[in-house]
């Protein structure tokens, strides 16, 4: 860089002198000619750490809409009115534990009265306790501390069970449903009782779910009891999550349009996260299961590998400008050697434009018609000299020595290497190849499960009945099984309605019932505030649905591969793949940096601070964060979901090709976040063999990024397209075979009829005669009649008996 930017004849200080004029001209021309205006090549790396959920306070604040701000005061008023009649002259924080328990018991008694209004007031008082008695606190940390304390106390006193009964009553409240159906517009007022109940239950689940090292032993014990109660229902026949799935399906069917869907979905997500376990717990379960099956340990911890990865830098202006210049003398001009650690992100055509020449929808990385011929060789040299004086040093991505992932070999390679032991007389390279094959061969839990399932189908009698471990995941799948397609369709319908790329349609479901106020805004400021609230509301719904679907798929896949395939197939049949691609067919940088939040109105800030006067400028400014955590979390979840659905499925990979996903996914690479880029590159990798040679030739930097970041499969010829998998495929047969296997699994494990043809038969005479049979009490009165009718009067056909012998 010093040689290129050193002092030379006529050079002056930065910003002065003749050589900078063509450089400025070139940069300005490049900006004007860029086709993609989404993001900038100078966008900084996004400092984002992926996890099960956002921070504790952020997750609590997203429960409330800004239009619910007035209800904090109502909850406080209901509590204080009741508290003063029961405990005079004291505050809640001044009571000892025994007095607090006694007051909570009196509140719970108030939930059992017949009068609906009195029940609601008692429920609001409980909600105020769950929110942290903010009227007696001075700072936000104090509110969060008392919220956590009170929620553990409420659970120990049996509050969750009481609210569960009230929730069932509200779900079955036909009067509220019919009233909502008759209204032309549904508002917050139609779901008041449901919102109060769901808020209390969410606060209890979220506060008890989050583990802190300083938790006392009784809190840890309560956490495990609560997890068991939600996973293995004692009083009902179904897990609590199934009730929430039923609410989602009922809402989407149009029978209960007043259900507050955001709160239902948030609660559903947190219940699944609490009962099934997060991503780190899943990794630990996977390691234990591999050990139990006798499989070798995982080569690396995928969570830690992704945390160490760094985002790839997009190309700089100068280098990309030079890449795009054809030489006027008929050959490529020389330029400094630069490490190609950047991605070809910004040179794409409209993904929906037809290409008559038959070439892929994206342009070559090295061509941009807007700049051809504008700068001569002298001007290019001036640019190279000028840039170091104008710009800070170019950020380089330092990849670790070696590749981040250990290579793997799938079982399919054994088709061509059936005998890997008899190698006598074969050349040395063959021996080394087989050694490498065995060294990197990876057998997944799914492979073992599929093999066991095939054996059970072949020999159902000799192998006997399968022992199924009663885990929370198994209980949930069994409960969801018969209505699972409706649940998946309902979630995708809501996701479609909440997607920023969706247009309002008359037949789409209304997901704004729990955010729109009774009286619509009349001023510009009120309209802006409601607009922010509505956008935030949709973002939270997308976040909760994407996390819920990903959790379900990952846990079902670990529990049994065919449970995962059953859910996946119904998601595919419900058009989940084009829905996710539609979601990403937007300005993804704008979505990730969106500022649809008003920090002064967020809980718990709004409960302990005087609210300043809102202005249009403060609403437009939003917060000071570099990006929106929930939106980036949603994008990564949806990409992971798309990977789960398409991995090793040729028919679904072809759907990515048919829907022209490559340019859409390449635009998502602009987000400089390593984990997001990794899952985009995975999706591009699986379809490169179908995109043709021209696409691969035009996108060599993307191919290089795939090589550097994505795990290598030794038998996957992804970079050349010579694999047999790239040939025409009978996609319908592939899905039909998978469906037949899934149905056989579900039928064998969950449809156990009493008169099955495989039921064991006892052929021992002494054993049969020795069995004790339950006879009716009056049988001895009619015994002789029965003997005469059934035994003595029936002729014995000895010839038939001889035939059997």
Lowest mean pLDDT among 99-108, 116-125, 171-180, 359-368: 359-368
Report pLDDT for 727. 55
Burial of 36 from C-beta contacts in 10 A (0-12 / 13-18 / 19+): middle
Coil, strand or helix: which one is 755? Answer: coil
- Distance between CA atoms of residues 203 and 60, nearest Å: 7
Residue 371 confidence class, pLDDT cut points 50, 70, 90 = very low
Q: How far apart are the first and last CA of the chain?
A: 98
Torsion of CA 24, 29, 32, 33, to 10 degrees: -150
Take residue 374 and report the two structure tokens written for it. 């504008």
pLDDT tier at 591 (50, 70, 90 boundaries)? very high
Task: For residues 414 and 411, give the distance between their C-alpha atoms in angstroms, rounded to a whole number.
Answer: 6
Backbone angles phi and psi of 158, in degrees to 5: 85, 25
pLDDT at 765: 75
Residue 782 has pLDDT above 80, yes or no: no
Distance separating alpha carbons of residues 460 and 261, to the nearest angstrom: 45
Q: pLDDT tens digit string along 228-258?
A: 999 987 656 789 999 999 999 999 998 899 9
Q: What is the pLDDT of residues 272-314, one digit of tens each?
A: 999 999 999 999 999 999 999 999 998 888 888 888 888 886 5
35-39, 65-69, 397-401, 584-588: the lowest-pLDDT one: 35-39
Region of poorest pLDDT, from 60-64, 260-264, 783-787: 783-787
Q: How far apart are CA 501 and CA 497, in angstroms?
A: 9
Q: Regarding predicted confidence, which is higher, 670 or 15? A: 670
Task: Look at residue 585 and give its three-state secondary structure.
Answer: coil
Angle (CA) 177 180 185, round 5°: 160
Q: Using 50, 70 and 90 to split pLDDT, how confident is the model at 505?
A: low
Question: Does the model's pTM come out above 0.85?
Answer: no
Q: In DSSP terms, which residues pair with 409 in a beta bridge? A: 441
Nearest to 680 by CA among 650, 648, 709, 714: 709
Q: What angle do CA 251, 252, 257 make, to 5 degrees?
A: 40
Beta carbons within 8 Å of 409's beta carbon, 6+ residues apart: 437, 440, 441, 442, 713, 714, 715
The DSSP output letter for 600 is G
| Bridge partners (DSSP) listed for residue 441 | 409
Q: Which three-class secondary structure string do you get for 526-560?
A: HHHHHHHHHHHHHHHHHHHHHHHHHHHHHHHHHHC
Outline where 499-628 has alpha helix (H): 524-559, 561-573, 576-584, 588-592, 605-608, 616-621
**Please, what is the angle between helix 472-480 and helix 240-252, to 10°?**
30
Task: Return the SS3 of 241.
Answer: helix
pLDDT of 175 reads: 85
With a cut of 80, say whether residue 478 has pLDDT above it: yes
pLDDT class of 615 with cuts at 50, 70, 90: confident
| Band of residue 397 on the pLDDT scale cut at 50, 70, 90 | very low
Task: Please tell me the distance from the alpha carbon of residue 460 to that of residue 454, in angstroms, as a whole number.
Answer: 10
Place of tokens 């004849």: 9
Q: Which residues are bridge partners to 348 per DSSP?
A: 362
DSSP conformation letters of 126-145? HHHHHTT-GGG-SSHHHHHH
Count CB-CB contacts under 10 A for residue 569.
19
Supply the DSSP symbol for 362. Answer: B
Nearest to 591 by CA among 549, 651, 535: 535
**Those residues with Cβ within 8 angstroms of residue 733's Cβ, 6 or more apart along the chain or in another chain:** none
Cα(204)–Cα(341) distance, integer angstroms: 47
Give helix 524-559 / helix 561-573 axis angle, nearest 10°: 140
305 is written with which tokens?
A: 């590998």
Report the alpha-carbon angle 263-269-271, nearest 5.
100
Of 125, 110, 256, the residue nearest 178 (C-alpha) = 256
Task: State the pLDDT at residue 511.
Answer: 93
Residues 103 and 97: their CA atoms lie apart, in Å, by 10
Return the structure tokens found at 238: 């179904």
Work out the percent of the chain whose per-residue pLDDT is above 90: 54
- Ranges of H-type helices in 136-191: 140-156, 159-171, 174-182
In this prediction, residue 676 has a pLDDT band, given cuts at 50, 70 and 90, of very high
Higher pLDDT, 476 or 316: 476
Whether 362 has a pLDDT exceeding 70, the answer reads: no
pLDDT averaged over the chain?
A: 81
Tokens of 248: 């989602």
Joined tokens for residue 8: 């030379």
Question: Given pLDDT bands bounded at 50, 70 and 90, which one contains residue 722?
Answer: low
Q: What is the pLDDT of residue 28?
A: 44
Structure-model confidence comparison of residues 363 and 490, the more confident one: 490
CA distance 644 to 628: 25
pLDDT digits (tens, 9 = 90+) for 398-443: 434 578 888 888 765 444 455 667 788 888 888 888 888 888 888 9
């Amino acid at each position: 860089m010093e040689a290129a930017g050193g002092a030379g004849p006529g050079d002056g200080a930065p910003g002065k002198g003749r050589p900078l004029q063509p450089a400025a001209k070139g940069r300005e021309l490049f900006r004007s000619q860029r086709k993609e205006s989404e993001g900038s090549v100078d966008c900084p790396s996004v400092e984002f750490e992926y996890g099960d959920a956002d921070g504790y306070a952020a997750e609590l604040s997203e429960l409330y809409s800004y239009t619910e701000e007035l209800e904090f005061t109502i909850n406080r008023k209901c509590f204080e009115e009741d508290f003063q009649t029961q405990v005079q002259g004291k505050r809640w924080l001044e009571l000892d534990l025994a007095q607090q328990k006694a007051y909570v018991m009196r509140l719970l008694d108030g939930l059992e009265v017949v009068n609906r209004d009195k029940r609601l007031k008692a429920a609001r008082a409980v909600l105020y306790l769950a929110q942290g008695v903010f009227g007696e606190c001075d700072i936000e940390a104090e509110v969060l501390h008392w919220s956590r304390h009170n929620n553990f106390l409420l659970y120990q006193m049996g509050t969750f069970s009481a609210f569960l009964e009230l929730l069932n009553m509200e779900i079955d409240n036909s009067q509220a449903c019919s009233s909502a159906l008759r209204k032309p517009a549904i508002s917050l007022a139609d779901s008041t009782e449901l919102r109060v109940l769901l808020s209390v239950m969410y606060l209890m689940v979220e506060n008890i779910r989050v583990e802190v090292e300083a938790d006392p032993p009784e809190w840890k014990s309560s956490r495990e009891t609560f997890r068991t109660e939600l996973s293995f229902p004692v009083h009902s026949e179904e897990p609590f999550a199934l009730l929430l799935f039923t609410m989602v399906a009922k809402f989407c069917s149009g029978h209960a349009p007043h259900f507050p869907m955001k709160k239902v979905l948030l609660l559903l997500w947190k219940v699944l996260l609490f009962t099934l376990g997060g991503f780190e717990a899943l990794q630990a379960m996977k390691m234990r299961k591999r050990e139990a099956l006798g499989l070798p340990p995982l080569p690396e911890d995928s969570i830690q590998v992704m945390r160490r990865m760094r985002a790839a830098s997009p190309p700089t202006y100068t280098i990309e400008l030079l890449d795009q210049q054809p030489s006027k003398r008929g050959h490529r001009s020389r330029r400094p050697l630069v490490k190609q650690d950047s991605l070809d992100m910004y040179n794409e055509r409209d993904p929906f434009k037809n290409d008559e020449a038959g070439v892929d929808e994206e342009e070559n990385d090295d061509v941009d018609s807007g700049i051809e011929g504008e700068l001569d060789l002298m001007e290019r040299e001036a640019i190279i000299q000028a840039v170091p004086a104008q710009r800070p040093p170019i950020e380089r991505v330092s990849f670790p020595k070696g590749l981040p992932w250990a290579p793997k070999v799938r079982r399919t390679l054994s088709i061509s290497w059936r005998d890997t032991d008899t190698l006598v007389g074969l050349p040395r390279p063959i021996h080394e190849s087989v050694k490498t094959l065995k060294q990197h061969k990876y057998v997944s839990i799914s492979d073992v499960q599929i093999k066991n399932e095939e054996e059970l189908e072949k020999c159902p009698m000799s192998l006997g009945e399968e022992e199924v471990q009663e885990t929370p995941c198994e209980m949930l799948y069994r409960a969801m099984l018969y209505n699972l397609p409706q649940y998946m369709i309902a979630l995708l319908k809501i996701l479609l309605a909440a997607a920023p790329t969706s247009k309002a349609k008359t037949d789409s479901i209304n997901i704004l019932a729990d955010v729109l106020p009774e009286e619509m805004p009349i001023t510009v400021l009120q309209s802006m505030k409601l607009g922010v609230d509505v956008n935030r509301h949709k973002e939270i719904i997308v976040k909760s649905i994407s996390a819920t679907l990903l959790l379900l798929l990952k846990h079902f896949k670990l529990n049994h591969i065919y449970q995962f395939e059953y859910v996946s197939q119904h998601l595919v049949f419900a058009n989940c793949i084009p829905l996710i691609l539609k979601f990403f067919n937007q300005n993804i940088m704008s979505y990730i940096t969106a500022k649809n939040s008003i920090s002064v109105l967020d809980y718990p800030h709004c409960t302990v601070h005087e609210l300043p006067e809102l202005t249009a400028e403060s609403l437009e400014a939003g917060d000071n964060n570099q990006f929106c955590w929930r939106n980036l979390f949603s994008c990564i979840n949806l990409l992971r979901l798309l990977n789960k659905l398409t991995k090793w499925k040729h028919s679904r990979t072809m759907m990515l090709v048919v829907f022209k996903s490559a340019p859409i996914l390449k635009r998502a690479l602009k987000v400089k976040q390593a984990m997001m880029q990794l899952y985009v590159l995975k999706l591009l990798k699986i379809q490169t063999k179908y995109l043709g040679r021209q696409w691969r030739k035009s996108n060599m930097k993307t191919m290089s990024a795939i090589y550097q970041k994505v795990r290598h499969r030794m038998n996957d010829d992804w970079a050349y397209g010579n694999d047999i998998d790239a040939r025409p495929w009978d996609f319908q047969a592939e899905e039909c075979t998978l469906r037949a296997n899934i149905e056989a699994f579900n039928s064998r494990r969950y449809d156990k009829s009493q008169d099955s043809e495989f039921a064991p038969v006892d052929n021992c005479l002494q054993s049969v005669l020795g069995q004790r049979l339950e006879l009716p009490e009056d049988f001895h009165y009619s015994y002789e009649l029965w003997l005469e009718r059934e035994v003595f009067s029936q002729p014995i056909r000895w010839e038939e008996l001889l035939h059997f012998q």
